[in-house]
Structure 1
Amino acid sequence: MEQLISAIERYHPSFRTDIEGCSPEEIDRLQSLVGIHLPDVHVDFLRVMGRRMGGLSLYDGDFRIETLIKRYTEEGAAHDSPLIIAIAHYGPYGRSRETFERPIELEFEEDEGQYVLVAYPPGEREHEFPEAIRILDLVNPTLYEALFAKAYLQYRWARFKHQRTLFFNAHSPKEIEQAAAIVEQFGFERHPESSITVRYFDQRDATAIISPNPGEPVRLSLAAHDAAELFRLANALTKRLPTPTTSA
């Protein structure tokens, strides 16, 4: 988590003052209620953000440890179910004033050999989580990936006024990597927090994100300060990326 905080501080220097962790005693209390060993990734999260997570909440979820302790105290633990790490609240819809809550879970993915975030509520509202990273509604990221994605869009992507989305063909990780190399040829530096799920590219006056689009062409999202420069960049990339390349 220290690596994550340092990465976020690159774009939001005061981020460390926006978060607050919980005590070892609180973590022990939660673990006793859950009845199983808490995954290291969740323990690390609780240590640094268990009380306050600096505006990085996902899926309108309440990730505070006191909420989890209250939930497990009242309802107990289902030992054959994934670990609940937050409670999401959503609604009301239409004329109904009824609100709902659903768990956000951390589940071990056998094929990947790691814990992934599983959320059942509706995805992020569009104005909170732009098209660039809506991949998180389509695949289950790790908690680390989800937190960095939210932070990048909140503290970096949002600084750019003009945005453009391109799509290109890629049928394997190797082909996606070849497209990433093309993006780097246009002066972008790949961010070290990039993953197989989402790749981030940055330069002084623009940013780019490559994210898979299951069953569809791969998405390349671009953002820049200058509209003319974004237009030039998008056109140049369109000529280099595997066809078909369409844009929005």
Structure 2
Amino acid sequence: MDELLTLLERYSPDFRNDISGVDGWALEELEAAFGHPLPDFYREFCLFMGERGGPLLARVDGYNPLDIIDFYRLTPPTYLPPRRFLYVLGDPSVDAQHYWLDLETLSPDGDCQVVRIPLSEHAWETRASRVYVGLRELLFSWAMSQVALPTFAHTTEYVTPYSTQGQRPPDAENFALTLEKLGFVRRPFPNRCLVFERHDAAIDLYRPPDAPGFSLKMGVSDLTEHRRLQSILEDVDGIEEA
């Protein structure tokens, strides 16, 4: 978590003052109520910011382990997926596509794939979508999109529409080389989603775990430089502004 917090504090210097974790007993109570061991990284996440996640978790709710216990107690069992899925983040939007960890994808570092599933009968079989290869990767990606990019004066979003038109989308790794030639430095983590920084700009590149194509958000301080980067990126085959 130190690496994540260092990244966040680069754009929000008081970030540590905006978060608070839970005590270990809350995790033990959640584990007992859930009936299965909690993944190691999820435990670490809760100890750092399970009570209050600051701007990083401003768009989700219900992630306090004690709230999750109530969630399982109050939700009709027929609306819940099997216990291979652990509810971790609530989606307060009308769609209510909540975030769950798929415990059957446990990695050697104690993390799990993040899946979005609404509350309805059999939704985990028909409406589930895998969105991140792990909770840690989600947090790094959100650190850029929710905390870092809003600090820049000019932002743009891009997509690779070919991935939805039956054509081969651009390769993210090759595209990363283009960004590096423009002076962006790729952070060593995350690995599936990619994070790039420059002294005057930043980019969050999102790739779903099991689908081709990607989308990205770019923030730039200076308007002239923003327009220059826009013209370069829009010349890349298969990339267009969202």
Q: TM-score, normalised by structure 2?
A: 0.74
| Pairing partner for 2:112 from 110, 115, 122 | 115
Match of 2:141 in 1: 149
Cα RMSD of the aligned pairs, angstroms, is: 3.5
> Residues of 2 paired with 1:231 and 1:4: CA distance?
30
Match of 2:100 in 1: 105
Match of 2:222 in 1: 226
Rate the CA distance shift 1:167–1:51 in 2: closer, same or farther, 3 A: closer
Match of 2:126 in 1: none
The Cα shift of 1:155 comes to 2.4
The Cα shift of 1:59 comes to 5.4
Match of 2:155 in 1: 163
The Cα shift of 1:234 comes to 2.5
The answer to whether the 8 Å contact 1:33/1:76 transfers is no
Amino acid at match of 1:208: I
Equivalent residue runs for 1:1-248 within 5 Å: 1-57=1-57, 60-74=60-74, 80-81=82-83, 82-91=85-94, 103-108=98-103, 110=105, 114-121=111-118, 139-166=131-158, 171=168, 175-196=171-192, 198-212=193-207, 218-239=214-235, 241=236, 243-248=237-242
Amino acid at match of 2:147: Y
Q: Which moves more between the two structures, 40-49 or 111-120?
A: 111-120
Rate the CA distance shift 1:45–1:235 in 2: closer, same or farther, 3 A: same
The answer to whether the 8 Å contact 2:55/2:147 transfers is no
Amino acid at match of 2:21: G
The answer to whether the 8 Å contact 1:162/1:227 transfers is yes
> Residues of 2 paired with 1:70 and 1:223: CA distance?
39
Rate the CA distance shift 1:140–1:17 in 2: closer, same or farther, 3 A: same
The Cα shift of 1:75 comes to 6.0
Number of aligned residue pairs: 222
Amino acid at match of 1:66: L
The answer to whether the 8 Å contact 1:4/1:148 transfers is yes
Q: Give unmatched runs, 5+ long, in structure 2.
A: 120-128
Match of 1:127 in 2: none
Q: Secondary structure at the match of 1:17?
A: helix
Q: Give unmatched runs, 5+ long, in structure 1.
A: 92-99, 123-136
The Cα shift of 1:167 comes to 5.1
Rate the CA distance shift 1:158–1:30 in 2: closer, same or farther, 3 A: same
Higher helix content, 1 or 2: 2
Rate the CA distance shift 1:234–1:138 in 2: closer, same or farther, 3 A: farther
Match of 1:126 in 2: none
Rate the CA distance shift 1:68–1:166 in 2: closer, same or farther, 3 A: closer
